[in-house]
Amino acid sequence: MGTEFIKERPREVPVIRKVDVVVAGGGVAGISAAVSSARNGAKTLLVEQGGFLGGTVTACPMKWIGGYNPKVHAGILADMLDRMKAAHGIGREFHSPNIGGKMIEVSLDIFKEVGLAMLEEAGAEIFLHSLICDAVTENEKIGGILVENKSGRQAILAKVFIDATGDGDVAFRAGAVCEKGRPKDGKTQGMTLCGPTMDDVDGEKLWKFLCEYRRIHSKEIREWNDEHSVFAVSGFLGLIERAKREDDFRMAYDCIWLNGKHDSNQVELSGSFISDADGTDVFDLTHAEIESVKQISEMVAFVRKYIPGFEKSVRMDRGSAYIGVRETRRVVGGYVLTEDDILQGRRFDDVIAKNSTPMDLHNPEGNQNWILVKPYDIPYRCLVVDGIDNLLVAGRCISVTHRALASVRFVPCCMATGQAAGVAASMAAKTNAVSRKINTAELQKVLKKQGVVI
């Protein structure tokens, strides 16, 4: 049976804004891109489908800046963290050997506030509750994007566009070549809905159990951080397998994460995992949202039955707006960064950012692999889009391979590529230059002035 269609009525779409630079997506890459573009003198508009900024950090909510290395990650991210600290928006901090850097807990509300303040100070305009539904292209250029919101369908025109949607939505709709998933079967890294916070946990009993479990089953502990008052532990494969046999638990991942403070009776859980789902397919996304809720319910039942200290615990809301998606489309750009580039710590003449977060691969089979890496360069060519003269990408949809994405998708790198894309877009808008042909030496000069480590 063929696909059935209907015809939409013809309509004229009102143009509501004409700007220099449009940034699509208000996650961490989009915030960084819009701030840097506006700071560099471009009339900038950020478009976000939700009612708040922060993307994965505030919506999932992940609420951790992972793999932060101040010797490598600076610029707008460092500025934002300084502002967060001044506003008492930084919680727990600890060094994680698994990710070769710091884990920094952020207050979700203050993260949103600081992002808004930085955009307003820079002079960027913000449109919330606006879903980007199409891109209007002609002669290898995007003339405008179409958005849908409570006001109907509207058009926004610009000289240069930055796709920071994470899913490459603008690039895809503009006809860019995109890749998705691993080469052999197209499957992507699994999705995760961050689990709840458990209250009224017997912390002393829990910690005694964790230490004893580590002593007896050391190979089952995937991560162990015990720094000052903070702990973060993951693993428990044997317990999970036992729970599946005895109680038919639906937990799809091979480990579970627990993190908290020694002087607190609250512990955060994580461990839901949706594999073999396409984050650009509405049916798969719907399935993932529904299935992850069921997994979290069973994860709570699991810790209450199998991990001492949780017996009388109370589940609190974590406030997830939607599931966390690690991988969808990756735009094919002027250069495709590879796993070998990362492992060799490769340098590039057109470097616009450095990164040092590990290759943290959440395989579709339901297991996780960490590979620590040396600092490496990200070339400007990874941000340009083949065949579209006035489009740049930032965040996890930049031009990289499936395995390389496992490193560049972390928050610090997304913000670094966002900052570079913002400066580059403002330069292209000022001179009416093709984005791939801007002077990268001048771009590097501006980025260095903004505190970026390259």
Residue 262: inside a domain, yes or no? yes
Residue 36: inside a domain, yes or no? yes
> Helix 108-122 to helix 75-86 angle, to the nearest 10 degrees?
120
AA letter at 347: R
**Sheet architecture: strand order including 267-270:** 221-227, 230-235, 256-261, 267-270, 197-199, 314-316
In terms of residue numbers, what domain contains 300? 197-316
Q: Is the dihedral of CA 368, 112, 86, 408 positive or negative?
A: positive
Q: What domain count does the chain have?
A: 2
Which one of 251, 285, 316 terminates a domain? 316
Residue from 437, 436, 432, 443 nearest 159 by CA: 432
Query: Same structural domain for residues 175 and 256?
Result: no
Query: What is the DSSP-derived secondary structure letter of residue 253?
Result: S
How far apart CA 296 and CA 302 sit, in angstroms, is 10
- 195 touches 295 (CB < 8 A): no
Query: Same structural domain for residues 34 and 179?
Result: yes
pLDDT of residue 3: 84
The CATH number given to whatever domain includes residue 119 is 3.50.50.60
Query: Same structural domain for residues 179 and 37?
Result: yes
If 0-12 CB within 10 Å is exposed, 13-18 middle and 19+ buried, where does residue 441 land? exposed
pLDDT of residue 1: 52
- 62 touches 360 (CB < 8 A): no
Query: What is the DSSP-derived secondary structure letter of residue 251?
Result: -
Query: Same structural domain for residues 293 and 344?
Result: no
Residue from 217, 289, 295 nearest 251 by CA: 295
Q: How far is CA 70 from the centre of its chain?
A: 19
| DSSP per-residue string spanning 163-195 | E-SSS-HHHHHTT--EEES-TTT-PPPPBB---
Residue 323: inside a domain, yes or no? no
Token pair 């977060």: residue: 357
Cis peptide before 61 (omega within 30 of 0): yes
Taking residue 422's Cβ as centre, other Cβ atoms within 10 Å add up to 36
Query: Same structural domain for residues 116 and 30?
Result: yes
CB half-sphere exposure, 420, CA atoms < 13 A: 38
Residue 134: inside a domain, yes or no? yes
What are the start-end ranges of the E strands in 220-374? 221-227, 230-235, 256-261, 267-270, 314-316, 329-331, 351-355, 359-362, 368-371
According to DSSP, the β-strands at 44-47 and 125-127 are parallel
pLDDT of residue 252: 78
AA letter at 382: C
Cis peptide before 10 (omega within 30 of 0): no
Tell me the two tokens of residue 41. 């003198």
Query: Same structural domain for residues 19 and 121?
Result: yes
pLDDT of residue 251: 73
Query: Same structural domain for residues 73 and 172?
Result: yes
Block mean pLDDT (10 aa), the chain, length 454: 85 96 98 98 98 95 93 97 98 87 95 98 98 96 98 98 98 97 95 92 97 96 88 93 86 87 93 92 96 91 96 89 96 98 98 97 86 96 96 98 97 98 98 95 97 94
Residue 39: inside a domain, yes or no? yes
AA letter at 198: M
Query: Same structural domain for residues 296 and 351?
Result: no
Query: Same structural domain for residues 21 and 68?
Result: yes
- 252 touches 301 (CB < 8 A): no
Residue 118: inside a domain, yes or no? yes
Residue 321: inside a domain, yes or no? no
Query: Same structural domain for residues 343 and 238?
Result: no
Residue from 146, 186, 155, 117 nearest 327 by CA: 186
Residue 336: inside a domain, yes or no? yes
Query: What is the DSSP-derived secondary structure letter of residue 252?
Result: -
Query: Same structural domain for residues 23 and 171?
Result: yes
Query: Same structural domain for residues 177 and 207?
Result: no
Q: How far is CA 224 from the centre of its chain?
A: 24
Tell me the two tokens of residue 413. 């790198």
Q: Is the dihedral of CA 334, 448, 414, 321 positive or negative?
A: negative
